[in-house]
Amino acid sequence: MASPDTDRVNREAFDSFVEAMLAGPVEDLKMKENDWKKFDRPCPPGNDYVYAVQRLGDVTNKRVLDFGCGTGYLSVILARRGARVVAFDLSLNSLKVAVRRGVVNSLENVVCVQQMSANDLAYKDETFDLIIGLGVLQYLDLQVVSCELERVLKREGKAIFVEPFSNSHVMQFVLEKLKWVWGCPFHGKPLTIAGLGVLGKPFSQISCKEFGFLSRMERIIHNRKIIRYVRMTDGLLLEWIPCFRKYARSVVIKLVK
């Protein structure tokens, strides 16, 4: 469960994390051609990020909330695809980068960014057609944030999230130890089946697709062809053998109001 102190620690950590981006050349934030096009191609095996964006469907003229937008990479993607994007984040440095990214990609007039807490959204009821977030729920109180999501989402609107997942006590223990070894400055918790139940409670529908079983080994595999085959195998294992899903690395969550 997130607390104000946890918010402060993570805000400071993310502010520090993006300092180098603020100091770097603005042109480094210019998107490449493949950044725009990859969402129109068939989803590569194991790519939860592309899968999540594609689950949004056609975003043309839709009011979309980039929930915990970070440095704005997804915000400009959505804007380029025709969405009317509103984005927020706790980290002021991240938002500064997001604004620069919008400017350098000529999308500053269609992306509105604000600093705020996910636990107390400053938006009116039923404001957004769509909501999307990447790796942000892990830092939040799911009971509080689920009510805020339901409140600001329009009737029959949908929210898509990509989150780290771990419903195995053994895997959670290992991940906590690895975070300590790596000196990870962030204080998130992977979602569990119980957490998904809390998150989905205010909504009429919740559905999930797990990603990443064998592909946890990608940290030590550097051959792109091997990684592709591992991800393909992952998809088959997670589809055909449900008991493996609790060992998945991430989950794409779809919430419908």
pLDDT digits (tens, 9 = 90+) for 222-255: 777 777 777 788 878 888 888 888 888 899 999 9
Q: What is the pLDDT of residue 183?
A: 46
Q: What is the pLDDT of residue 92?
A: 94
Residues in the chain: 257
Q: What is the mean pLDDT of the chain?
A: 86
| pLDDT at residue 150 tops 80 | yes
pLDDT digits (tens, 9 = 90+) for 1-24: 445 677 787 788 888 888 888 888
Q: What is the pLDDT of residue 237?
A: 80
**Percentage of the chain exceeding pLDDT 90:** 54
Residue 77 structure tokens:
């993607």
Q: How far is CA 8 from CA 12, 21, 88, 186, 240, in A?
A: 6, 21, 16, 11, 42
In this prediction, residue 175 has a pLDDT band, given cuts at 50, 70 and 90, of: low
pLDDT (average), residues 179-193: 63
**Percentage of the chain exceeding pLDDT 70:** 87
| pLDDT at residue 152 tops 60 | yes
| pLDDT at residue 176 tops 60 | no
pLDDT (average), residues 124-140: 95
In whole angstroms, what is the distance from residue 5 CA to residue 248 CA?
Answer: 29
| pLDDT at residue 187 tops 70 | no
In whole angstroms, what is the distance from residue 56 CA to residue 49 CA?
Answer: 12
**148-152, 173-177, 193-197, 203-207: the lowest-pLDDT one:** 173-177
pLDDT (average), residues 159-185: 64
Residue 63 burial (CB < 10 Å; 0-12/13-18/19+)?
middle
227 versus 43: the higher-pLDDT residue is: 43
pLDDT (average), residues 113-130: 94
pLDDT digits (tens, 9 = 90+) for 60-96: 999 999 999 999 999 999 999 999 999 999 999 999 9
In whole angstroms, what is the distance from residue 115 CA to residue 89 CA?
Answer: 5
| pTM listed for this prediction | 0.88
CB contact set of 160 (below 8 Å; sequence gap of 6+) = 52, 53, 55, 56, 130, 131, 132, 133, 252, 253, 254, 255
